[in-house]
Structure 1
Amino acid sequence: MATPPAAPTPARRAHRGRRDGVDGSGGEVETGTVGSTTRDADATVRVGVTTPAADAAPVNAETPSRLVLLRERLEAWWAIARRRIDAVTRTIRPLGWVMLTATVLLWVVAVSFGWQEMIIAAVILTAIIVISVPFLFGGTAYDVDLDLTRTHVVVGERAIGGLTLVNGTARSILPSRVVLPVGSGRGEFDVPRLAPQAMHEELFAIPTTARGVLAVGPVSVLRGDPLGLFERSSDRRQAVDLYVHPRTTPLEGLSLGRLRDLEGLPSSQLARDDVSFHALREYQPGDDLRHVHWKSTARVGDLMMRQYEETRRSHFVLGLSTYAGDYSDPDEFELAISAAGSIGLRALRDSRMLEARTQRGPLRTQGPRRLLDNLSALEHSRQRDGGIVALAGTIAANSHDVAIVVLFCGSGVDSAELKLACSRLPQGVRALAVVADSAVESPLLRRVGDADVVSISALDQLPPAIRKVLS
């Protein structure tokens, strides 16, 4: 007869409870398992796969595949190879490409047809190429100094500069060529053989025919073969900016904005000496006796002084349109820039608060040179919504306490657009428009709305035209 199984002891029941994930009290125990959850009336048992340790990597972490690693490695290799290919192709001159192409074609024809003459020609061209390659090797360790006597010139003037090359090594440097880029062109200088610590100087002059900002440099030392098949350059000095200012004309004897500036704009600050009268007060030590109000002094018996409100001078605003549609040709655009520069220089000499704006934003006007530098860098804008009307709206929104606004545009702007542009300016501002029109023979003065409009075809017509407006 079989023996019945023994009843589990309390120790066994506790051990089995821990093994099954349940303690003896019937409560839930966090065992770090994930999976399905089985619930009964007394306990909740978590059944599943044991989670990894806290410091282990997540189960669902994405590891890069071999294909991704291979693609990244190939891209890195290709980037290195492309840089080296570009470095090699930059050394080949146009004549070198012709020579290489002819050599390849001759070899193809010679091998395909077995022509003895083609083989001889291909061997000769190959020998020329092989002999020319060693000229690329070797260093040109010059100490280069580029010096421009003037970095700001006017259109038509020459910029004079000097180039100094010093052999700072302990060995001689063979003859070479030095290239000095100037804008889109360049100048070349032949440098003779230089002994150790020897120096060579080159003087040059840069003619200027158009307004702009030219990058002079960087100086490059060339090494190449005598035939000009291959050429290698190395930069020795950073570029220097040469500012070619627009032509301007002096506006002597003109006090632009004088009446409005004398009136001033009163503020809440009181001053002893100004234009806007405020009240009377008693004399204080240090007061200027020129401001004694003698009638009040005689009536009161004490010295009475005039007291003024401190005034702020309103400023002068130039609005130059850079939209290409406002001009019939590039000469009108250059004339408008020259006119803006002339009036701006006159305003700065009169100590006016000057502000200049284009459709692209404000220009720096902290001094004559800064103003002309910014005018030198201006270019046409192709935005259709950026005409003279939009420019006037920008001035009205961003300029405050304005005395006079001078708008500059070309013959592409009609009277209706000028009238609309001037109507957008703040109320009470005196508006003047200068139109660069190559079709007019003499200065033309007319009235468009509340603005005076002057049309000129040459820069020397500007002073008499402005004098008529202010008279």
Structure 2
Amino acid sequence: MAQAQQPRRRGPSLPSITIPRITLPAEVSQSLTGARRVIGDRLAPVTERTRPWWSPVATALRWVSALGWTIAGLGVLAWWLGARYQWVELTMVAAGCLALVLACVVLAQGRTRVRIETVVDPRRVTVGDPATGRIDIENEGKVPLLPIVVELPVGRSDARFTMPSLRSGEVHEEIFVVPTQRRGVIPVGPARTVQGDPFGLVRRVLHWTDQTELFVHPRTIPLDSHAHGLLRDLEGQSTQDISSSDLAFHALREYEPGDDLRHVHWRSSAKTGVLMVRQFLDTRRAHLAVVVDTTGWVYRDGDEGVELAIEVAASLIVRSIMDDQDGTVVCNDQQASRTTAPLLLDTLSRAMVGPVDLFASVAEAAALAPDASVAAVVTGSGRPFVESQRALGQFGPEVARLVIVVDRGTKPSVQQVAGLTVLTIGELVDLRRVLVSGVAA
């Protein structure tokens, strides 16, 4: 039978020791700070005079990679062990390591006289369109240029080009392709040359160009020119709202106290014997304000639904600008107002996908476009209608308000709910159908 284990006896517990925190008096702390400042001021002239000697050494040391520092550290350690224990083999290993690092530093020396140019054309493309770039390198030196490696960051990856040996004045050209499967802004460059050794102990990097941005615009669908709540400008369509002062003459009416005497029609007043004033139709410049809800969870398919919502907003904005109307867009952390279609699409390309405060976004749009004639919120089916209604309530009652619900797999529909026009679409192509039916309604 197994014997029961006897409980272990615990020894006496050790008393806890608290290390007191040492705080220097204010006078001592100020004295140390003053001493450091004085020493720094006195060493500054010496540092400037000796800069020509130590600056090249410091620059060369920055070229050494992590692997290079590891080899150098092993060399120093082997040298110390060999000298302490009279171990000749370790001394030879140390000499080999240090000589290798020193030789690699020497190989990275020298001036590279080249001209590098990167060209990305076109700078703006739509998702899925081909985008190519070109990198040119010219040897501006008087001696032949040995093969070098040119790195060109493209988005999150680096393109590496091994340039052949170039004679003086010779130019070499390389073509690269930029992936455009996703909406966004792709940074290209700066191009840099890499000099070093085959082992990667030393890496000397020189930058030759600036960074170029490639804008991948969201897809858009061509829409018919419509006038659903969109008020034309002074040369276009007038509203049916009566105004006492505007440019679109409507009719004559009797004078009422408070009317502007400048609008009195004296000839008609003389004929009728009653003071008559001109009455006008209110005219405003059409202005479309669009807010995109980039909160992923409100869409059935997450981020893909957000991308579809951005494409819907882009299609509306492009159509609005083509109709010579003003446009404002607010999409997460990006906003633009009263600018050209390419710049508005650039703004949508920069927009990030993530949670947003819909009420705050609509408030920002209302501040950017106080004269908006149409306000639209593009959101998903998971966003409660009450939140969209409350957010759009920040626009005045004279503004036509739309809620465009993106829900893949749903049949397109148009509804009037609580004074708002609710358009439901399942695909981008459905936008044209619901707008036509909404306008006709």
Q: TM (normalized to structure 1)?
A: 0.68
Higher deviation after alignment, 339-348 or 91-100: 91-100
Q: Which residue of 2 aligns with 1:343?
A: 316
After superposition, give the CA deviation of every residue in 1:291-348 in whole Å (9 maximum; x if it has no partner). xxxxx9xx9xxxxxx9976833332211224566766733232222111101111111
Mapped partners of 1:444, 1:89: distance in 2: 68
Q: Secondary structure at the match of 1:169?
A: coil
2:428 to 448, 459, 462: 459
Output the aligned Cα RMSD: 3.8
Residues 20-419 of structure 1 correspond to what in structure 2 (within 5 A)?
68-72=37-41, 87=59, 90-100=62-72, 102-103=74-75, 106-107=78-79, 118-251=90-223, 253-257=224-228, 260-261=231-232, 262-264=237-239, 276-278=249-251, 311-322=283-294, 329-358=302-331, 360=333, 362-380=335-353, 387-419=357-389
Higher deviation after alignment, 221-230 or 458-467: 458-467
Mapped partners of 2:293, 2:54: distance in 1: 44
Q: CA deviation at 1:118?
A: 4.7
After superposition, give the CA deviation of every residue in 1:265-305 in whole Å (9 maximum; x if it has no partner). 7777765xx5x52459xxxxxxxxxxxxxxx9xx9xxxxxx
Q: CA deviation at 1:197?
A: 1.7
Q: Secondary structure at the match of 2:313?
A: helix
Q: Secondary structure at the match of 1:469?
A: helix
- Residue identity over aligned pairs, in percent, reads 27
Q: Secondary structure at the match of 2:373?
A: strand
Mapped partners of 2:388, 2:416: distance in 1: 10
CA contact (8 A) 1:140 1:221 kept: no
1:455/1:110 CA distance change after superposition, 3 Å: farther
CA contact (8 A) 1:324 1:381 kept: yes
After superposition, give the CA deviation of every residue in 1:209-250 in whole Å (9 maximum; x if it has no partner). 222222211221221112222111111121222111112222
Q: Which residue of 1 aligns with 2:8?
A: none
CA contact (8 A) 1:364 1:374 kept: no
Q: CA deviation at 1:132?
A: 1.8
Q: CA deviation at 1:400?
A: 3.3
1:434 to 383, 404, 418: 404
Q: Secondary structure at the match of 2:152?
A: strand
Q: Secondary structure at the match of 1:241?
A: strand
Largest Rg, 1 or 2: 1
Give the residue type in structure 2 aligned to 1:336: A
Q: CA deviation at 1:446?
A: 4.6
1:450 to 419, 433, 436: 419
Structure 2, unpaired ranges of 5+ = 1-32, 254-267, 272-277
Mapped partners of 2:173, 2:210: distance in 1: 18
Q: How many residue pairs end up in the alignment?
A: 378
Mapped partners of 1:452, 1:111: distance in 2: 87
Mapped partners of 1:82, 1:426: distance in 2: 69
Q: TM (normalized to structure 2)?
A: 0.72
Give the residue type in structure 1 aligned to 2:133: G
